[in-house]
Amino acid sequence: MKIIFPPETPSAFLAEDELPLDLVYEDDVVLIVNKPAGIPVIPSQLYPSGTLANGLLYLFSCAEFGVNGSYHQSAGP
């Protein structure tokens, strides 16, 4: 079995935002961010900007990345 994912295209709705992100660890494969409570992970109608995804896009505007996280004991939205 072979699974082929279509190429990802940048979202027209995701804009760069300069946010004070607490980068705990970073290497060639992993980035760990200490996300404060109250900062949404991805944009929505209620929070179109100021999200973790917006801040990461600002930091790594020339890199492709996915946003995922551990929601175990998460205090924020």
pLDDT digits (tens, 9 = 90+) for 12-68: 778 889 999 999 999 888 889 999 899 999 998 899 999 999 999 898 875 555 555
pLDDT value at position 46?
A: 92
Query: CA 25 to CA 23: how far, in whole Å?
Result: 6
pLDDT value at position 12?
A: 75
pLDDT value at position 62?
A: 57
The first and second tokens of residue 43, run together, are 């944009």
> For residue 64, which of 19, 5, 6, 9 has the smallest C-alpha distance?
9
pTM of this prediction exceeds 0.75: no
Cα–Cα distance list, 52 to 7, 36, 42, 57, 71 (Å): 23, 10, 6, 9, 14
- Residue ranges of the domains in the chain? 22-59
**Amino acid occupying residue 9:** T
